[in-house]
Structure 1
Amino acid sequence: MAEYKIYHNPRCSKSRQTLEILNEKGVDVEIVEYLKNPPGKSELTAVIKALGVTPSDIMRKKEAEYQEAGLDQEGLSVEQQVEKMIAYPKVIERPIVVKGNKAVVGRPPENVLDLID
């Protein structure tokens, strides 16, 4: 099992740049193309906890799917937000890199350096 995991979108320049930094540092990284293979509820909840944020903090609010999913409605519970993020993975901010119980969003890509010992 890889020490690092990146939730990656190969079409995103920031995601590609973050992956490039990980590769340059020679770390063992598992690549999860989350648009093809969205994380499950417990996995996404663990990522959110590792980031130390709320689900709303890692949503791409300008994506059409954000409104399509009804994520712009007030009063959604954390559980409802997570379920909608799984159903509409395009709204999940990218890239997210996880190492153990810590995680960072690769915006800017250099944020990943905080996870590398």
Structure 2
Amino acid sequence: MAESLFLQYPKCSTCRNAKKWLEAQGAEFEDRNIALQPPTKEELRDVLNKSGLDIKKLFNTSGQKYRELGLKDKLKTMSEEEMLDLLSSDGMLVKRPIFVHGGKATVGFKEAEFERVLS
């Protein structure tokens, strides 16, 4: 895996802004389209460990797929393994962008968080 991994969806304006921000900082990263190449269970577990986030924060709750599958209620009874299986099966279920650098990771785009991960 590259030193830094940037998982994003090209049609997502937040992802485009995050990518512009990273490029402006001169950051080098592996850029992956989350829809074409969803993160693996191991990558998702790594993001959880490095970000300290709750697994539910990895879900794209505003996505069409999330609503179609009725996940708001289903997640309450799912195990972490089941959630990781589901997230790794479809990149559109995953909140984006995801940025992993060194021992840190962040989900979604907040400049301050990206700065923290890059430092």
Distance, in Å, in 2 between the alignment partners of 1:15 and 1:62 is 15
Residues 26-105 of structure 1 mapped to structure 2, 5 A cutoff: 26-69=26-69, 71-72=71-72, 73=74, 74-105=76-107
Q: Kindly indicate whether the alpha-carbon contact (under 8 Å) linking 2:6 and 2:30 is maintained by their aligned counterparts in 1.
A: yes
Distance, in Å, in 2 between the alignment partners of 1:35 and 1:109 is 23
> Is the helix fraction higher in 1 or 2?
2
Shift of 1:110: 4.6
Report how many aligned residue pairs link the two structures.
117
- Scaled by the length of structure 2, the TM-score of the pair is 0.86
Letter in 2 for 1:32: R
Distance, in Å, in 1 between the alignment partners of 2:62 and 2:20 is 26
Letter in 2 for 1:9: Y
- Scaled by the length of structure 1, the TM-score of the pair is 0.87
Q: Comparing 57-66 with 77-86, which one deviates more in the overlay?
A: 57-66
User: Match for residue 113 of structure 2?
Assistant: 111
Query: Please, which runs of 5 or more residues in structure 1 have no aligned partner?
Result: none
User: Sequence identity of aligned pairs in percent?
Assistant: 27
Q: Kindly indicate whether the alpha-carbon contact (under 8 Å) linking 1:5 and 1:30 is maintained by their aligned counterparts in 2.
A: yes
Cα RMSD for the two superposed structures: 1.7
Q: Kindly indicate whether the alpha-carbon contact (under 8 Å) linking 2:8 and 2:96 is maintained by their aligned counterparts in 1.
A: yes
Q: Kindly indicate whether the alpha-carbon contact (under 8 Å) linking 2:47 and 2:106 is maintained by their aligned counterparts in 1.
A: no
Shift of 1:108: 2.6
